[in-house]
Amino acid sequence: MPSATAEPILRVEGVSKFFGGLTALNKVDLEVYPGEVVALLGDNGAGKSTLIKCVSGVYRADEGRILFNGHDITDASPSKVREMGIETIYQDLALAENLDVGANVFLGKEKEKRLLGLIPVTDDEYMRREAAGVLDRLDIHIPSLKQKLVRLSGGQRQAVALARALYWDARLIIMDEPTAALGVPEQRKVLALVKTLREQGIPVIIISHTMQDVMEVADRMVVLRRGRKVAEVPRSEATVDLLVKHIVGGFDVA
């Protein structure tokens, strides 16, 4: 649990986003503290993705401010946001499945060595070793690191995406529906990954539809409905019933 004195690493203050006449986000506040897993819940169209895209720089908030580590990132571009340490892992993972783990972790930042002291070539050994190291940190063991990603399971690939983020010093990881499209055993593995990240002090925002996932890993659950934040529930008080009521708006009727 965040202590009262700790500074939030991410602070979203009164952010709104409009698409024409539609209010996708309406003065939403959100805080994420170091080493905390925050779940973002809500029905389709509740504004989860819009909020995430505002944070990651894909959308620009029309109102409000977003602070990361004290820096204002409200108007930062996606690449600037990534540079500052916020890594968003989308469902499609953005991996080159025809390449191996090392190549993926170092994609776009390939490590080179000089052949005969002259010709720059990729240092595949180094990249594989480093990738293995960071996968170790995630407690993930891939039998052969020379295998192309296409031959790995969904959970293993998720781990590779996380490994890349970690290796390049991500300080906040946003995961968009990480367990969708995975089988049950694979879902367990991904949740274990999220827990490992928390143990290492890296905060995670996780978007999910699956209540069990959320109950298992999140320290705090933030529920959005029609663009508004309608509830913020610590794990100790959360029940599936309560969360579902918030999501579908069961309290409005009462």
**Which spans of this chain sit near another protein (rule: CB under 8 A)?**
79, 92, 94-99, 103-104, 107-110, 112, 115, 119-122, 143, 148, 150-156, 182-183, 185-186, 188-189
- For another protein, give the closer residue by CB, 103 or 194: 103
E strand or H helix at 175, and its extent? Answer: strand 172-176
Q: Provide, rounded to whole angstroms, the least separation between the CB of residue 96 and another protein.
A: 4
Which residue, 96 or 248, has its beta carbon nearer to another protein?
96
Helices then strands (H, E): number in the chain?
Answer: 9, 12
Instruction: At 66, give phi and psi (nearest 5°).
Output: -125, 125
Question: Do 200 and 214 touch, CB atoms closer than 8 A?
Answer: no
> Which is closer to another protein, CB of 69 or CB of 153?
153
CB of 240 to another protein, least distance (A): 24
Supply the minimum distance, in Å, between the C-beta of residue 246 and another protein.
32
DSSP 43-102: -TTSSHHHHHHHHHTSS--SEEEEEETTEE-TT--HHHHHHHTEEEE-TTTT--TTSBHH
CB 41 within 8 A of CB 225: no
The minimum distance between CB 206 and another protein, in angstroms, equals 19
Please state the closest distance from residue 154 (CB atom) to another protein, in A: 6
Q: Which is nearer to another protein, 44 or 79 (CB)?
A: 79
- Please tell me the distance from the alpha carbon of residue 183 to that of residue 180, in angstroms, as a whole number: 9
**Cβ-based nearer residue to another protein, 71 or 109:** 109
Contact 254, 245 (CB under 8 A): no
